A = this chain, B = another copy of it.
Amino acid sequence: MNANAETVAFDADTYMAGLGVAARAAAAALVRAETAQKNRALLGIAEALSAAAPELLAANEKDLAAGRENQLAPALLDRLELTPARIEAMAQGLRDIAALPDPIGAISDLAYRPSGIQVGRMRVPLGVIGIIYESRPNVTADAAGLCLKAGNATILRGGSEAFTSNCAIGRCITRGLTEAGLPASAVQLIASTDRAAVGALLRMREYVDVIVPRGGRGLIERVAEESRVPVIKHFDGNCHVYIDARADRRKAVEIAVNAKTRRYGVCNAMETLLIAESVAAALLPEIASRLFEHGVELRGCERTRELVPQALAADEQDWYTEYLAPVLAVRVVEGLDTAIAHVEKYGSHHTDAIVTEDIDRAQRFLREVDSSSVMVNASTAFADGYEYGLGAEIGISTDKLHARGPVGVIGLTTEKYVVFGAGHVRS
């Protein structure tokens, strides 16, 4: 950060309006851009990042030094750090995005109507997207790349701890865009850490079509509360696995263990295990012993603790909690209805799974559980843009409108109606 940051005058509203105008103009150019040109830009940015690795590492070292001085937590310093491997991963991510199909301009469901006109829907960019994220510099390249592929102009605002790194990455993005003949303002980094700039971004309804916050719950809540621009957001992943009375023993054990232990700090990890009372005695001890081998702490209802004495007592708050840690809440339930009611009451509508061999119960769970992903006999760990075949993802939406579940390139687009006539008028 500039050492004079506090003493130099800066008017956030004026500055942001300038970015807004430039972004709107770039969006008009991007909607015309051919697929090959967008891909050239993506590959050019990838090349620029690889070529600039020494500069990126030097810029990042400044951020890291400041972070250490400010006693950032080790986990935050780790997220902030760029390594040659991480730079190469950013570049590869952009090449992967270039390889995805271009959704823009595709027309679906074009059909003749009784009046003689043809009506269909064309996939088009959203326009201008604002991305607000924490101090992970790789998001700068990932988010810009996905938005660019979808034909959107982007305004990026990363965490202030990564400011120098982000500016260095931003210069690579500008190089790639310019070399491909696209406007540099197709991707703009907010060149100030002033908080007022974020406020201005969230109010610029005339220039910004959607805001995507990426980070912890605190960031997302602040953005959602303050924004006058629509927000695609991702709250908690309090995911459940329900083991039904008619579950297959092997499937139940493997799914429960995988959903909890594959990774702890991710939004698709199971946080509560529900199990039907008729199979609890047969299955819970085995599942518990497998989880204990992984060092997972169990917090159970009374009946769980009768079957698994090592489990601690769960309280009401546990059912609401996204631990993001080797901790699991466990509850014995009567059956499907109680399980669904529990998921609806305590869950976060992210990802929930049932393990059962009973087709009626599977169907009911699929239809009645109101979550962005609902699974039968599969681990919640599969809730992921790559696993779903979207290519890269910008996040997992727990909203119901527009994008729900993993959000990839398609989630950054919209559709408009197209009508073809031959001079048709309406009578």
Contact = CB atoms under 8 A, between A and B. Distances in A.
Interface of A: 28, 31-32, 105, 111, 113, 115, 117, 119, 122, 124, 126-127, 209-210, 230, 232, 248, 250-251, 254-255, 257-259, 262, 344, 353, 355, 364, 366-368, 370-379, 381-383, 387-389, 399-402, 404-406, 414-426
A235 to B, nearest CB: 12
Contact of A401 (B124, B383, B402): B402
A117 B374 CA distance: 13
22 contacts: A31-B367, A31-B370, A32-B367, A115-B382, A117-B382, A117-B387, A119-B387, A127-B370, A209-B401, A210-B400, A230-B401, A250-B423, A255-B425, A262-B425, A373-B418, A377-B420, A377-B422, A378-B419, A379-B425, A382-B421, A382-B426, A401-B414
Contact of A423 (B248, B367, B387, B402): B248
A401 B152 CA distance: 14
Most buried by B among A414, A415, A425: A425
A132 to B, nearest CB: 17
A232 B255 CA distance: 39
Given A126-B400, A422-B377, A425-B255, A111 B389 contact: yes
Q: Is the interface of A mostly helix, strand, loop or mixed?
A: mixed
Q: Which 7 A-B pairs have the closest CB atoms?
A: A378-B421, A251-B423, A258-B425, A381-B426, A375-B419, A401-B402, A373-B417
